[in-house]
């Protein structure tokens, strides 16, 4: 697997020699392009009803706090409810399902919570729902945990797994066991290996080549012309 830094530096190595010193492309910009292309490729792949590959997922550990259930507008639970202290990063939007793949306890061996859509919350505990279940739902960017058994309201953390639109967005969360960041740009980038070459090719065509063309148009007066053909040959 490749890291984000490795992918971004590889792209810069190809195009950077063709740019003048006056018009440099920041590494941060290249990483932004990579995130956008990754989201596009994953969305197209999963919307074909393909199974979710574990390499696309990331896991974060979120701290919980007890809040009044009225914080969820329109939900009359007449009790307190657990909510993450931080907002949950945006996941990749899919046609038929959300990018959240699991919400559960810190102990990964235990059964995950029943993750439901916000629209189903008013029916929690009625009819076919098990009175011993723990439900989880996303609302206003926060993850809510609603255990029907009050004894589980003492939970302090929850594990959330999903396909996040920007993999770096979970870096503000720490691992539950090591208290280290859940992600750094030197960790394996959550993408299938086969997606990397066509993704880089697309970035070269749609982003970096455009930057080189703009550079070429501006550099006629200072002899720092960019050689677009060289960039295309190096792809």
Residue spans of beta strands (DSSP E) within 88-209? 100-104, 114-115, 134-139, 142-147, 157-162
| Average of per-residue pLDDT across 160-166 | 95
Q: Check pLDDT > 50 for residue 201.
A: yes
Closest CA to 56 of 188, 151, 170, 184: 188
Q: Which domain covers residue 199, as residue numbers?
A: 4-51+192-234
Considering only residues 88 and 18, tell me which one the structure prediction assigns the higher pLDDT: 88
* 9 occurs within a structural domain: yes
In this structure, are 65 and 165 located in the same domain? yes
How far, in Å, are 129, 212, 229 from residue 232 at the CA level?
Answer: 59, 11, 5
Question: What is the spatial distance between Cα 68 and Cα 70, in angstroms, rounded to a whole number?
Answer: 5
CA distance linking residue 176 with residue 59, whole number of Å:
10
186 occurs within a structural domain? no
Task: Name 60's bridge partners.
Answer: 160
Instruction: Read off the pTM.
Output: 0.81
* Same domain assignment for residues 8 and 95: no
Radius of gyration of the chain (CA): 22
Query: Residue 21: pLDDT band by 50, 70, 90 thresholds?
Result: low
Is the domain of 72 the same as that of 153?
yes
User: How many domains does the structure of the chain reveal?
Assistant: 2
Top pLDDT among 191 and 151 is at: 191
Note whether 27 and 127 are same-domain residues: no
Same structural domain for residues 142 and 223? no
- The reply to whether 94 and 155 lie within a common domain is yes
């Amino acid at each position: 697997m490749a890291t984000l830094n490795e992918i971004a530096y590889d792209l810069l190595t190809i195009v950077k020699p063709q740019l003048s010193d006056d018009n440099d492309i920041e590494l941060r910009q290249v990483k932004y392009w990579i995130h956008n292309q990754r989201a596009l490729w994953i969305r197209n792949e999963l919307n074909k009803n393909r199974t979710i590959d574990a390499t696309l997922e990331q896991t974060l550990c979120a701290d919980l706090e007890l809040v009044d259930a009225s914080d969820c507008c329109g939900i009359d639970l007449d009790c307190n409810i657990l909510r993450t202290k931080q907002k949950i990063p945006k996941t990749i939007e899919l046609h038929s399902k959300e990018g959240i793949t699991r919400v559960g306890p810190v102990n990964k061996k235990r059964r995950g919570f029943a993750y439901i859509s916000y629209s189903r919350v008013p029916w929690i505990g009625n009819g076919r729902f098990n009175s011993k279940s723990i439900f989880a739902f996303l609302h206003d960017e926060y993850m809510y945990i609603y255990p029907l058994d009050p004894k589980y309201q003492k939970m302090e953390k929850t594990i959330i797994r999903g396909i996040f639109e920007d993999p770096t967005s979970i870096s503000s969360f720490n691992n539950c066991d090591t208290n280290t960041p859940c992600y750094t740009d030197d960790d394996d980038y959550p993408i299938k290996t086969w997606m990397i070459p066509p993704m880089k090719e697309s970035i070269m065509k749609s982003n970096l080549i455009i930057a080189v063309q703009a550079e070429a148009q501006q550099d006629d007066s200072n002899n720092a012309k960019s050689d677009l053909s060289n960039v295309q040959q190096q792809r």
